[in-house]
Amino acid sequence: MGKPKKSAAPCRIVVCRDCCCGSPKVSGDHAAQRARLRDGAPVQISKCLDVCDQANVIVVQPSTEGRAAGGRPAWFGLVNDAEATEDILAWVRAGGPGVAPCPDILDLYAFKPSRRVRDAL
């Protein structure tokens, strides 16, 4: 009998929760946001991603399928309300980077961090 087939990894969500993101400095229910995101994908809590001017920061990592299709991590900042969280979650459930087109509404939150910051993640 052959080796069992390795299942493809889903999208992964990285949520910055350190000096600014997820703190009282930034409005929003941070615990509820994390819990809601966990309903759609694995969530990793990160130390400071060094883009504090964009707090709260969420990075959507592509799934195995998305990465194979050329998907790259998508960075979203100022995600401080439940509607933005739901928009990100809907995109992740649809397949995320490389699989599903990013909804136009997420253009309001998307940003490109410096190469130094991207490489650290």
Summarised one tens digit per residue, pLDDT across range 20-63 is: 888 888 888 889 999 999 999 999 999 999 999 999 999 999 99
Write the CA distances from 98 to 18, 30, 76, 92, integer angstroms.
29, 27, 16, 11
pLDDT value, residue 4: 45
SS3 58: strand
Whether this prediction's pTM lies above 0.85 is answered by yes
Contact assessment for residue 77 and residue 54, using Cβ atoms and an 8 Å cutoff: yes
- Write the pLDDT tens digit of every residue in 69-79: 999 999 999 99
